[in-house]
Structure 1
Amino acid sequence: MFHFKMVARAATLSLALVPGLALADMVTITDIAGRKVEVNTPVKRVILGEGRQIYFTAALDTDNPFGRVVGWRDDFQKADLDGYNIYLKKFPEMADIPTFGGMKDGTFDIEQAVALKPDVIIMNTEAKAATEESGYIEKLAKVGIPLVYIDFREKPMEHTDESMRIIGQLFGKEDRAEEFVTFHDEQIARVTDVLAKHADVKKPVVFMERAGGYSDDCCMSFGNENFGKMVELAGGINMAKDFIPGTFGTVNPEQIIASDPDQVIITGANWELYVPGGNWVGVGPGADPATAEKKLAALMERPAFTGIKAVKDGNVHAIWHQFYNSPYQFVAVQQIAKWLHPDLFADLDPDATFRELHERFLPVDYHPGYFASLKSGS
């Protein structure tokens, strides 16, 4: 250990003698879990605890979103195949980044992580319990690797801005992060400000089905956070909040029939690598709308949905699942508001908002296909 410290100190002194080379600053970052973590910033080598964290990396390191990434979880391709292929086409080097399993399922390889010499590991808060139980934080601390928690999934409407600011600190991109946060909040305000002026507007009851058709089970949904909170922000009543105490849970078919929701919104994506040929609705970048609508209609033939008001009126929609785990939720809030209150939001164009996000913050072109609806003209 003494030898290691001496070598590290000598290396630091040598770097200090190189003209124009800025040394990293040791800063204390308070992560989403409230932990105070010391990190040398800006970080140069990052392990992403989830591959879909590239959604925020790309918004800050737009020119080179994989430049800092030395390892990541192997979920991006499986969970968002269309998005993965778009990034792969522009950044083929991403296929060579070492992949990991997850903390929650116990397949994270800590020895592999240490060998990659990361300056920081960024994890989602849902992995916190598993990380603590396995002693990963202590093991990493012994070799000088800090772990920072962020959250775009458990309480995204509460934690997205703070998470982006944390990542901005880590990357030395505070101004860029603040620019994103401002855009994010302005876009949500385009919905909430209008609804505030129409406090007497009738709020439709909405059933949000999480990953409908992914399995034969019915029906996963959201409590009073994530897509459930997005529904409330968009001027709706989240049906499942009365049955699900946390962020995620299940509602049985009888409850859906009894509640008779005015609107149904199902999340989906291209999950061909997870469930080949499944009944899921493959909305996402470049998705074919006719195929998505056909699969969406088929899901409404399940016993929980036949005969309910939403189906009778054609108020059945599909939305890209990954809005639930990225800093792009404001696009979903706009689209849901437009479905629930088409007259109030006739001039709101969520596709244009998402396109602007790509043009200002993301390194890939925008490809429509993130929404589908059985409502004529929607």
Structure 2
Amino acid sequence: MLTKFFGALIALSSVLGSPLLAAEITDIAGRKVEIDLPAKRVLVGEARQIHTIAALTGDHLVDQIVGWRDDFLTKDPDSYEAYVERFPALASLPRFGYVPNNTFDLEAAIALSPDVITLNVEAQKVAAESGIEEKAAAAGIAIVYVDFRVDATKNSENSIRILGQIFGAEDRAKDLISYRHEQLARVTDRLAKVTAFVRPKVFIERAPGNDAENGCCRSFGPYNFGEMVEQAGGHNIAADVIKTTFGDLNLEQLIVENPEHYIATGSNWAAESKTNRFVHVGRGADPQAARQKLISLMARTGFSDLQAVKTGNVHAVWHQFYGVPYEFVAVQQFAKWFHPELFADLDPDQTFRDFHEKFLPVDYKPGYFASLKGETN
């Protein structure tokens, strides 16, 4: 009798398409969360997680998503346009604000009956203190934290695995992690075999021109883009001062350090910028227009005397590489800038094309880098 009873339950579970028992996920914040996997209804707490989710789900990107944060449209509209063209249903998804600045509407989120809300780990403090975690749990909604930005080296792979579990794409997650390892190794393994190489001093400036003052000098400590610089064989000068993910270097320090390479992070921030001085790089961006913006940024006080400016080693990189699991493309381009002879055969443009063909459901368009020295995609 019991055998027939449990057999009926299993059959019913199969018909409903859901597992019989909840699985336990340990998220990036170390919290153990129970959730039926794969989730049927997911609210994406930062829409730029779409870059990862798309690599995991491919043509089924929109099957489980019921809402998302509004940042994809405002902070990466070039990518937003590509994904909405491919998946028109994305345009009508409910949009939500940002948990850390208290613009996230939890009641509206609960009304969508999601199984899970995926938040970036930097949102945890506010989510816990404001009661979002507790209220979501009371409504039967799991909150799961991931991270591709605060400490990408430590957390990106686990975040890929977690999203793979949530979206029922564990095998795809393994393939993505493996591919990521291979592409990073094309730089790090080669550098490891060089008995002695000089690390050029590099200053990477976070989103210059995207503020009202057009000031200087937001940067990265030993994480995120700062770590990418080191992986590519450069020395991130800001890490000597900044010990957290993000911080500020003052202009006097920059002038004293006199970096050999300058890199600006840029994107299409037209929807939120007050000055439009930022460097527009990203999917389909115009490299000539980006170079002109770089020239304008180098006209700021103190920049013209920098060695990087005098030699033309002034570059721009797509800002959104700082929050995706394919930052290896940026690392490869940095390596070519820093050590052009050692990495003469490396083609980051082809790497990114190949990645799109293997993992992403949208077509590739160049425009993610610009430089005042030589041609870049």
Using the size of structure 1 for normalisation, the TM-score is 0.94
130 and 19 in structure 1: CA distance in 2 versus 1, 3 angstrom threshold = closer
Q: Give the C-alpha shift of residue 263 in structure 1.
A: 0.3
Q: Which amino acid aligns with 1:166?
A: I
Query: Matched residues in 2 for 1:92 and 1:365: separation?
Result: 15
Q: Give the C-alpha shift of residue 199 in structure 1.
A: 3.6
Whether the 8 Å contact between 2:116 and 2:143 is mirrored in structure 1 is yes
Alignment partner of 1:286 out of 284, 287, 291: 284
200 and 43 in structure 1: CA distance in 2 versus 1, 3 angstrom threshold = same
Query: Matched residues in 2 for 1:93 and 1:285: separation?
Result: 21
Q: Which amino acid aligns with 1:302?
A: R
Whether the 8 Å contact between 2:210 and 2:275 is mirrored in structure 1 is no
The match for 2:330 is: 332
The match for 2:51 is: 55
Deviations 1:240-263 (A, max 9, x none): 001112000111111110100010
3-state SS of paired residue (2:67): strand
Q: Give the C-alpha shift of residue 133 in structure 1.
A: 1.3
1:39 aligned onto 2:56: no
Query: Matched residues in 1 for 2:233 and 2:372: separation?
Result: 20
Whether the 8 Å contact between 1:204 and 1:237 is mirrored in structure 2 is yes
The match for 1:363 is: 361
Query: Matched residues in 2 for 1:51 and 1:20: separation?
Result: 31
Query: Matched residues in 2 for 1:96 and 1:16: separation?
Result: 35
Whether the 8 Å contact between 1:271 and 1:280 is mirrored in structure 2 is yes
1:256 aligned onto 2:248: no
Identity in percent: 54
1:66 aligned onto 2:62: yes
Q: Which region of structure 1 is more displaced relative to structure 2, 337-346 or 20-29?
A: 20-29
Q: Give the C-alpha shift of residue 87 in structure 1.
A: 1.2
1:214 aligned onto 2:201: no
Whether the 8 Å contact between 1:100 and 1:109 is mirrored in structure 2 is yes
Whether the 8 Å contact between 2:18 and 2:38 is mirrored in structure 1 is no
Please list every run of at least 4 consecutive aligned residues from structure 1 whose deviation after the TM superposition is greater than 3 angstroms. 13-22
1:147 aligned onto 2:143: yes
Query: Matched residues in 1 for 2:278 and 2:10: separation?
Result: 53
Whether the 8 Å contact between 1:122 and 1:149 is mirrored in structure 2 is yes
Query: Matched residues in 2 for 1:322 and 1:258: separation?
Result: 29
Question: What's the RMSD between the two structures over aligned residues?
Answer: 1.4
Q: How many residues align?
A: 366
Whether the 8 Å contact between 1:76 and 1:84 is mirrored in structure 2 is yes
Query: Matched residues in 1 for 2:86 and 2:168: separation?
Result: 24
96 and 202 in structure 1: CA distance in 2 versus 1, 3 angstrom threshold = same
Q: Give the C-alpha shift of residue 326 in structure 1.
A: 1.1
Query: Matched residues in 2 for 1:359 and 1:186: separation?
Result: 16
Deviations 1:251-282 (A, max 9, x none): 11111101000100100011110115511000
142 and 295 in structure 1: CA distance in 2 versus 1, 3 angstrom threshold = same
377 and 288 in structure 1: CA distance in 2 versus 1, 3 angstrom threshold = closer
Q: Which region of structure 1 is more displaced relative to structure 2, 66-75 or 187-196?
A: 66-75
Query: Matched residues in 2 for 1:65 and 1:19: separation?
Result: 22
The match for 2:100 is: 104
Deviations 1:135-169 (A, max 9, x none): 11111111111100000010112211111011111
Whether the 8 Å contact between 1:218 and 1:252 is mirrored in structure 2 is yes
Query: Matched residues in 1 for 2:290 and 2:132: separation?
Result: 41
357 and 27 in structure 1: CA distance in 2 versus 1, 3 angstrom threshold = same
Q: Which amino acid aligns with 2:175?
A: E
Whether the 8 Å contact between 1:268 and 1:280 is mirrored in structure 2 is yes
The match for 2:4 is: none
349 and 22 in structure 1: CA distance in 2 versus 1, 3 angstrom threshold = same
Query: Matched residues in 1 for 2:200 and 2:295: separation?
Result: 21
Q: How does 1:291-370 map to 2 (within 5 A)?
A: 291-370=289-368
Whether the 8 Å contact between 2:209 and 2:275 is mirrored in structure 1 is no
Whether the 8 Å contact between 2:210 and 2:274 is mirrored in structure 1 is no
Q: Which amino acid aligns with 1:88?
A: V
Q: Which amino acid aligns with 1:298?
A: S
Q: Give the C-alpha shift of residue 51 in structure 1.
A: 1.0
Q: Give the C-alpha shift of residue 18 in structure 1.
A: 7.3
Deviations 1:68-107 (A, max 9, x none): 1101110101101111111111211111000001101101
Query: Matched residues in 1 for 2:51 and 2:374: separation?
Result: 32
Query: Matched residues in 2 for 1:16 and 1:296: separation?
Result: 62
Q: Which amino acid aligns with 1:289?
A: P
Q: Which amino acid aligns with 1:344?
A: L
3-state SS of paired residue (1:62): helix
Q: How does 1:223-262 map to 2 (within 5 A)?
A: 223-262=221-260
Query: Matched residues in 2 for 1:210 and 1:296: separation?
Result: 13
Q: Which amino acid aligns with 2:78?
A: D
Alignment partner of 1:138 out of 134, 155, 163: 134
Whether the 8 Å contact between 1:16 and 1:23 is mirrored in structure 2 is no
Query: Matched residues in 1 for 2:49 and 2:85: separation?
Result: 18
The match for 1:8 is: none
Query: Matched residues in 2 for 1:111 and 1:16: separation?
Result: 35
Q: Give the C-alpha shift of residue 20 in structure 1.
A: 4.4
Q: Which region of structure 1 is more displaced relative to structure 2, 273-282 or 250-259?
A: 273-282
